[in-house]
Amino acid sequence: MTDLSHFDSNIASNPKNTIFGLPFTEADARLVILPVPWEVTVSAGSGTSRAGEHIFNASMQVDVFDEESGNAWKQGIYMRHPDRKVLMKSDYLRKEAELYINYISKGEEIEKNSFMCKSLKEINEGSANLNKWVYEQTSSLLREGKLVALLGGDHSVPLGYLKAIAEKYGEFGILQIDAHCDLRKAYENFDHSHGSIMFNALRDVPEITRLVQLGIRDYSEEEFNYIRNSNQRVVAYFDKDIKEKLFEGQPWRSIVDEIVSHLPDCVYVSFDVDGLDPKLCPNTGTPVNGGFEVEQVVYLIKKMIESGRKFIGFDLDEIAIGESNFDANVGARILWKLCNILVAANPLPLTRKEEECTTTL
């Protein structure tokens, strides 16, 4: 266990420590944050592959006192360094993808261009390898008894983690915060597009019994029909419908109760920051007007846990970086809150001595 007796949260954070300036090692940490520096298939703005390092820097300004979670961070939060090989592969394939997207946007047929066919093949193979890497990393951490948070990168990155979660917990549901459904099949011919993550998850991970989507406000007819024909495996709360309920006087608490009622016993949270009002993360790749405040999402997750459901993991994605670094500032605070909530929601088993004390009392 890490000795916190000499840790002073009232002085400037030490960037030589782990994220938020905390003095934990990976071995001692209850929760490990795995950054995934990948943004190969983004279709608009870029920059999210370097979110991990920017959020790490911004985290030094986050006050670690968290009365609400009982200072759950004291059980240990650690972030790995972004893998440079993954980042370099992302940078290389991103350039290939940009050329490819520009080519098809002009109505050209890829079958007539051997270079574009080769690029598409490389991109799809690279994304498949990334999913395998994420699966291997997260599976190993889960076997060690760690709680795991995934930090993107674009929203394509959690597929491998979802497979690892399924192996550990069996059946579970996903609570998705997003402006988009991400239910497109091989969007832009990319097998593992950021716009296809939930399509792929529902196809490849049968343990996902329910996907509840919130804040959706930019979607295709194909995705709308997918939801309608999913036999309630997908439940979507469109942003306009939520807003109309609020405008007509329905309290957020009652809307939350209805949302939570659709979730199964174990819940994974997939948080794309474009689900928020874009004033909070204006540089995210595909911002859409509308969306949530951070406090609304945090309240929802807290009520989900209070309902008796088990919070088993999360990913946080699509945080891109602008000139002001404001997105990283907001992202660091969202990450801090979610990490503390996840740790607090998964209490460690009592030791024999603690059990004896509890029995005596």
Please compute Rg for the chain using Cα positions. 20
Q: State the pLDDT at residue 209.
A: 98
Q: State the pLDDT at residue 234.
A: 98
Confidence bin at 350 (pLDDT 50/70/90): low
| Segment 306-329, tens digit of pLDDT | 999 999 999 999 999 877 889 999
Q: Which residue matches tokens 């979607």?
A: 219
Confidence bin at 221 (pLDDT 50/70/90): very high
Q: State the pLDDT at residue 358.
A: 46
Cα separation, 32 vs 147, in Å, equals 6
Confidence bin at 246 (pLDDT 50/70/90): very high
Dihedral angle of Cα 264, 270, 274, 278, to the nearest 10 degrees: 80
Residue 324: DSSP 8-state: T
| Segment 192-219, tens digit of pLDDT | 999 999 999 999 999 999 999 999 999 9
pTM as predicted = 0.94
Q: Are the C-beta atoms of residues 153 and 36 closer than 8 Å to each other?
A: yes
The proportion of the chain whose per-residue pLDDT surpasses 70, expressed as a percent, equals 96
Q: Are the C-beta atoms of residues 329 and 134 closer than 8 Å to each other?
A: no
Query: Backbone phi, then psi, for 85, in 5-degree steps?
Result: -65, -40
With 90 as the cut, is the pLDDT of residue 106 above it? no
| Segment 271-319, tens digit of pLDDT | 999 999 999 999 998 999 999 999 999 999 999 999 999 999 999 999 9
Question: How does the average pLDDT of the chain come out, rounded?
Answer: 93
Query: Which residues does residue 78 pair with via DSSP β-bridges, in sequence order?
Result: 32
HSE-CB at 330 with a 13 A cutoff on CA atoms is 26
Nearest to 133 by CA among 57, 210, 176, 192: 192
**Chain-centroid distance, C-alpha 318:** 9
Confidence bin at 354 (pLDDT 50/70/90): very low
Instruction: Provide the residue ranges of all domains of the chain, joining segments of one domain with +.
Output: 19-360
| Segment 37-79, tens digit of pLDDT | 999 998 887 889 999 999 999 999 999 998 889 899 999 999 9
With 80 as the cut, is the pLDDT of residue 357 above it? no
Confidence bin at 352 (pLDDT 50/70/90): low
Q: Are the C-beta atoms of residues 175 and 73 closer than 8 Å to each other?
A: no
Cα separation, 80 vs 33, in Å, equals 6
The proportion of the chain whose per-residue pLDDT surpasses 90, expressed as a percent, equals 81
Classify 170 in phi/psi space as left (phi over 0), alpha (psi -120 to 50) or beta. left
Give the ranges where the chain is alpha helix by DSSP (H): 51-59, 84-105, 114-143, 159-169, 197-204, 221-228, 239-247, 252-261, 294-306, 326-344, 352-360
Q: State the pLDDT at residue 5.
A: 79
Q: What is the mean pLDDT of the segment spanning 87-109?
A: 91
Homologous superfamily, domain 19-360: Ureohydrolase domain (3.40.800.10)
With 70 as the cut, is the pLDDT of residue 125 above it? yes
Q: Which residue matches tokens 């807290």?
A: 302
With 90 as the cut, is the pLDDT of residue 7 above it? no
